[in-house]
Amino acid sequence: MSLSTEELHRLDKEYYLPTFKRYPLAFKKGKGSRLWDMEGNEYIDALAGIAVNNVGHAHPKVVKAIQDQAENLIHISNFYLSEPQMVLAKKLADLSGLKRVFFGNSGAEAAEGAIKIARKYASKNGRGGTIISMKNAFHGRTMATIAATGKKAMMNGFDPIPEGFCHVPFNDINLVKEKINQDTAAIMLEPIQGEGGIIPAEKDFLKELRNFCDEKGIALVFDEVQCGIGRTGKMFAFEHYGVKPDIMTLAKGLGGGFPIGAVLASEKVGGAIDWGDHGTTFGGNPLACAAALATLEAIEEENLMDAATENGQWFREKIMKATVDYPEIEGVRGEGLMLGVVLSVDSKPIVATMMKHKVLANATAENVIRIVPPLNISRDDLQVVFDVLLQSIKENRK
């Protein structure tokens, strides 16, 4: 099978639900931080499937793990045990200190699981089920997770929206405290907001949240779907803050490109779940878990968290130096290789120009360029990303 880009776009318009604004590209092959389109043109990927391909495209360890596992066992049922699932559960528990693990297929599923665990824990302790989440957050696109996200544009036309969610400004501890009452089950947030524009939580904010949740018996939920799995230079973003959540969600980078999500919980909070309270057909299947184990091993063996820290700092410093000649750049936010270049102009045209120069990035929050490349991207490729970014800003000057 070898269809042209034009044929693929025709099929997309004719058959696929029109949910995505597609770029005029179709890709056929990837290796490391590089992608090749249907016509053989080569691109540097500074988006990594939106922070998914943390070990790059077609990492040999992940490819071999998938091949070997596929030859033996792809799917059974969660009525039965499989070795990859149990080994991965122990691995994540050991890394995080959260001793209960449940696997799904996506970040939205992980968020749904986190909501259920938090509400069951609250119910057993005589509290209501309201979840307090942050404005400008993103937790997924299922009905419950768009309610948790709280963006009107995402909820438009989907009434009735599930109830039980309350939204407060990010990093405002006083407003969070004002909203908490006996009906509050949990506080849910991203330690570093992704879709909201790569906005890190303030350390004092998270520490005060932790103390307040302990005082009130409320579960603290961290959504690390985007900022977890080495992306920020630590395995989990919460390690930057010294604040451990009661519940944490993971997905994106966990499977090295293969779909898998996970919700982790402390023994105390996770123990509220009873037999039959939750389930999944495909979640935690042997193939997905084998891919995730290989991904975690690659991150550790190749010191990719250190690489993310060093390359992220290098990129940040270059961006800040460039502000002298590029007044359109207002700054850069984030940790490791989860970076947002903040502009004084619309970021979408600049990302489109970068794509013409064969570099893939992402525009988010209207004026932010999201840079989330594979953690093993080379310094040379990052230099090209930087050069193309500046060139694209220059070409969009009026």
Amino acid code (one letter) for 132: I
- The per-residue pLDDT for 185 is 98
- pLDDT per residue as tens digits for the range 87-121: 999 999 999 999 999 999 999 999 999 999 999 99
Report the candidate in 186, 195, 192 with the shortest Cα–Cα distance to residue 165.
Answer: 186
Average pLDDT, the chain: 97
- pLDDT per residue as tens digits for the range 64-80: 999 999 999 999 999 99
Confidence of residue 272 (pLDDT cuts 50, 70, 90): very high
Q: Answer yes or no: is pLDDT of 306 > 90.
A: yes
Instruction: Indicate the class that CATH gives domain 5-55+303-395.
Output: alpha beta
pTM: 0.97
- The per-residue pLDDT for 368 is 98
- pLDDT per residue as tens digits for the range 138-192: 999 999 999 999 999 999 999 999 999 999 999 999 999 999 999 999 999 999 9
Q: Classify 285 as helix, strand or coil.
A: coil
| Rounded distance between C-alpha atoms, residue 136 and residue 154, angstroms | 12
CB 194 within 8 A of CB 216: no
CA 197 to mean position of chain CA atoms: 13
Confidence of residue 2 (pLDDT cuts 50, 70, 90): confident
Q: What is the mean pLDDT of residues 333-345?
A: 98
Q: What is the mean pLDDT of residues 208-232?
A: 97
- The per-residue pLDDT for 35 is 98
- pLDDT per residue as tens digits for the range 345-374: 999 999 999 999 999 999 999 999 999 999
Confidence of residue 398 (pLDDT cuts 50, 70, 90): confident
Instruction: Note if the bond before 327 is cis, omega within 30 degrees.
Output: no
- The per-residue pLDDT for 365 is 93
DSSP letter for 57, please: B
User: Would you list the domain boundaries of the chain?
Assistant: 5-55+303-395, 60-301
Mind giving me the DSSP string for 320-345?
HHHTTT-TTEEEEEEETTEEEEEESS
Q: What is the 3-state secondary structure (H, E, C) of 167-211?
A: EECCCCHHHHHHHCCCCEEEEEECCEECCCCCEECCHHHHHHHHH
Confidence of residue 1 (pLDDT cuts 50, 70, 90): low
| CATH code at 60-301 | 3.40.640.10
Percent of residues, the chain, with pLDDT higher than 70: 100
**What is the strand order of the sheet 362-364 is part of?**
329-335, 338-343, 368-371, 362-364
